């Protein structure tokens, strides 16, 4: 049973560029959440998608946007990259909140 799959695993971008990260949820899960994790910190909630719509959003600027497709997979887009956007970006899928989230291994984004 495949868990959550994220791509790419690592990415280096230049300040000002745009990036798209991809996530395939665990089979049977319909909700996808994205988190940003700075080194040594807990994950910070970016937004959550359910039924192809953004259901919740954290305290992140509009440069961060997303999409969910009919097959429940999701993309995270970040425009006008800043050095401070360098982090591990985690995708998590869930079906029922009390059963917890399943996380992918993340995409390590480095902005130079």
Partner 1 sequence: TQLLEQSPQFLSIQEGENLTVYCNSSSVFSSLQWYRQEPGEGPVLLVTVVTGGEVKKLKRLTFQFGDARKDSSLHITAAQTGDTGLYLCAVNFGNEKLTFGTGTRLTIIP
Chain residues that interact with partner 1, rule: CB under 8 A: 4, 33, 35, 40-45, 48, 55-56, 58, 90, 92, 97-106
| C-alpha 97 chain-centroid distance | 17
We find the least distance from the C-beta atom of residue 57 to partner 1, in angstroms, to be 9
The alpha carbons of the chain give a radius of gyration, in whole angstroms, of 13
Nearer to partner 1, 14 or 96 (CB): 96
Nearer to partner 1, 17 or 26 (CB): 26
Nearer to partner 1, 83 or 97 (CB): 97
From CA 101, how far away is CA 4, in angstroms rounded? 10
97 phi-psi bin (left φ>0, alpha ψ -120 to 50, beta other): alpha
We find the least distance from the C-beta atom of residue 85 to partner 1, in angstroms, to be 19
We find the least distance from the C-beta atom of residue 106 to partner 1, in angstroms, to be 5
Q: Which residues pair with 107 in a beta bridge?
A: 89
């Amino acid at each position: 049973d495949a868990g959550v799959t994220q791509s790419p695993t690592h990415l280096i971008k230049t300040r000002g560029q745009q990036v798209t990260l991809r996530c395939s949820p665990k089979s049977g899960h319909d909700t996808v959440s994205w988190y940003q994790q700075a080194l040594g910190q807990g994950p910070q909630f970016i937004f959550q998608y359910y039924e192809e719509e953004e259901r919740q959003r954290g305290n992140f600027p509009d440069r961060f946007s997303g999409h969910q497709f009919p097959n429940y997979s999701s993309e995270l887009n970040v425009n006008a990259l800043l050095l401070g956007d360098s982090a591990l970006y985690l995708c998590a899928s869930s079906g029922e909140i009390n059963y917890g989230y399943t996380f992918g291994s993340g995409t390590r984004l480095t902005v130079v």
